[in-house]
Structure 1
Amino acid sequence: MAEAEPQGENWENSMKKMENCKKDLENLLEEMEKITVHAAWMTYNMVTIHTNPDLNISMKHLENAFLRCKQQVERKWQEVLKESEGEEQTKE
């Protein structure tokens, strides 16, 4: 009779391990599905860009516009910082 309890505990431990393994496998499968979808979209985007040269030109135009805008924002930010420093010095 004393041997029945450890076997029962071993069975429960085995069942818990199986449940944990099942959950881990489900999580891994979900991650693989996400990666697969991401890879499919990347492939689609690459094919679209290579087959439509106008899209590539548009993307370059958008990138250039973004960089110009970023430069303007950085310049304005520097001006604001200089103005705030000047105001602090006049208060002192």
Structure 2
Amino acid sequence: MADSSPLPELSQDSVDDVLELNKDLERIIEAVENISVQLTWMAYDMVALRTSPELGTSMLKLKEAYHKCRSIICGDRDQEPEMDI
């Protein structure tokens, strides 16, 4: 039969250190995941813009239209909507 010696007990300080290490590792992993997502979006944007340069102009027009609609719906008094006829 195998020797059944008990596992050494960890002191409270060791347990606290392990918990703190786990928290630090979780924060680092989350930060790396966020960076990875940002890099993915940057790469996507770069490929999309190189594939279709008109996309940038279209996105600016869409952004302007969004801000106009938002100012009308939300009642943003600082920006008067312009009427394009």
In the superposition, the TM-score normalised over structure 2's length comes to: 0.56
2:80 pairs with one of 75, 82, 85: 75
CA-based RMSD of the aligned residues comes to 3.0
1:6-85 paired onto structure 2 within 5 Å = 11-63=11-63, 65=65, 69=68, 74-75=79-80
How many residues align? The count is 67
Q: 1:19 to 1:58 in 2, by over 3 A?
A: same
Identity of aligned residues (%): 32
Deviations 1:58-84 (A, max 9, x none): 1243355467x36xx5237xxxxxxxx
CA drift of 1:42 comes to 1.6
Look at both structures and tell me which one has the larger radius of gyration over its CA atoms: 1
Alpha-carbon distance in structure 2 between the residues aligned to 1:12 and 1:32? 30
- Gap regions ≥5 residues in structure 2: 1-8, 72-76
CA drift of 1:36 comes to 0.9
- Gap regions ≥5 residues in structure 1: 1-7, 77-92
Alpha-carbon distance in structure 1 between the residues aligned to 2:37 and 2:63? 26
Runs of 4+ in 1 over 3 A off after TM superposition: 63-67
Q: 1:23 to 1:66 in 2, by over 3 A?
A: closer
In the superposition, the TM-score normalised over structure 1's length comes to: 0.53
As a proportion of its length, which structure holds more helix? 1
